[in-house]
């Protein structure tokens, strides 16, 4: 594929001192007002992700706990989704790396933030934006009987996929494959980083399902609210089709500098 480079990094993470240095560098740049930091709100970097002028390149640092490496098909689907929507003339680079499990059964959003602070080693530099995604074992503490959360976008350039929970759903009889569920949740969470819906990328026409937060009113759209819970996806996806963005969502992304 054009402008795409995949780096398979099977190495274990560098010593903690390395990530501390990187964070210090990042904090200095942030203080000087030169670069966006990584602790902003979801949607805050939407324009930087969509446009190609300030940041011509994008690097994805994907991290997974043992056994939860995203499938090759998932990575291909994700790449296609990004190439379709983002203006990145200098290319999109993916790095995939295993990390140790924190060993928790349940994680809060703060737990995930703390984990990212420990394991993220790549940060935005001049001309190149970095997004970090963690495929995590255990489950989300906010799960309810009818809503098992499969993913959360929780900072301006960060998301988590609850890979173990996701596999509990894809493993059920007649359920969509792991790759289809993974791709759907991955694209959906990235949609939130892109400021959808009305969350950092202004709406061109009204299509926010305000009852469900930053989601789209179209049931067929990738950004419909049921696309990030296991129960919602099992009820919705038949066969192997990954939902795509509807015209209203694409219109918003284009108006904010995307494709
Ligand atoms: Zn969502
Ligand atoms: Zn939509």
Q: CATH code at 168?
A: 3.40.390.10
Q: Which residues surround ligand 2, an ion (CB under 5 A)?
A: 216, 218, 221, 223, 246, 249
| Averaged confidence pLDDT in the chain | 89
Please spell the DSSP secondary structure of 126-185, one letter per residue: TTEEEEEEEEESSEETT-BTTB-B-EEEEETTEEEEEHHHHHHHHTSTTPPPHHHHHHHH
For 94-139, write each residue's pLDDT tens digit. 999 999 999 999 999 999 999 999 999 999 999 999 999 999 999 9
What is this structure's pTM? 0.88
What distance in angstroms lies between residue 188's CA and the mean position of ligand 1's atoms? 6
Distance CA 242, CA 35 (A): 34
* 238 pLDDT tier (thresholds 50, 70, 90): low
Name the least confident of 6-10, 136-140, 176-180: 6-10
Structure tokens at 111: 């737990």
Q: What is the mean pLDDT of residues 17-39?
A: 56
Distance CA 163, CA 173 (A): 18
What distance in angstroms lies between residue 152's CA and the mean position of ligand 1's atoms? 7
CA torsion through residues 138, 142, 146, 152, sign:
negative
What distance in angstroms lies between residue 67's CA and the mean position of ligand 1's atoms? 25
What distance in angstroms lies between residue 160's CA and the mean position of ligand 1's atoms? 12
HSE at residue 247, side-chain half, CA atoms within 13 A, is: 1
Kindly tell me if the per-residue pLDDT of 212 is higher than 50: yes
CA 256 vs CA 14, 122, 156: distances in Å: 37, 25, 16
| Domain count within the chain | 1
Range(s) of the domain holding residue 37? 4-255
* 55 pLDDT tier (thresholds 50, 70, 90): very high
What distance in angstroms lies between residue 242's CA and the mean position of ligand 2's atoms? 14
Q: What is the pLDDT of residue 33?
A: 58
Nearest listed ligand to the Cα of residue 250: 2
CA 212 vs CA 1, 188, 202: distances in Å: 36, 14, 17
Q: What is the mean pLDDT of residues 194-206?
A: 98
Mapped onto helix, strand or coil, the DSSP state of residue 244 is: coil
């Amino acid at each position: 594929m054009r402008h795409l480079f995949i780096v398979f990094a099977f190495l274990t993470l560098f010593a903690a001192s390395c990530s501390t240095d990187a964070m210090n560098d990042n904090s200095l740049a942030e203080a000087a007002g030169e670069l966006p930091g990584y602790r902003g709100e979801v949607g805050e970097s939407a324009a930087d992700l969509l446009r190609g002028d300030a940041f011509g390149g994008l690097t994805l640092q994907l991290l997974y706990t043992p056994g939860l490496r995203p499938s090759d098909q998932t990575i291909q689907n994700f790449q296609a989704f990004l190439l379709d929507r983002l203006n990145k003339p200098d290319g999109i680079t993916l790095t995939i790396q295993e990390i140790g499990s924190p060993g928790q059964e349940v994680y809060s959003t703060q737990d995930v933030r703390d984990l990212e602070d420990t394991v993220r080693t790549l940060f935005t530099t001049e001309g190149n934006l970095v997004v970090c995604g963690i495929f995590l074992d255990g489950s989300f503490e906010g799960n309810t009987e009818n809503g098992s959360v499969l993913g959360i976008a929780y900072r301006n350039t960060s998301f988590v996929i609850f890979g173990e929970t996701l596999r509990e759903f894809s493993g059920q009889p007649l359920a969509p494959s792991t790759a289809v569920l993974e791709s759907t949740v991955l694209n959906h969470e990235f949609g939130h980083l892109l400021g959808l819906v009305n969350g950092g990328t202004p709406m061109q026409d009204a299509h926010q399902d305000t009852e469900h937060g930053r989601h789209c009113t179209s049931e067929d759209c990738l950004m419909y609210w049921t696309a990030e819970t296991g129960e919602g996806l099992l009820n919705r996806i038949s066969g192997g089709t990954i939902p795509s963005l509807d015209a209203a969502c694409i219109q918003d992304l284009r108006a904010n500098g995307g494709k």
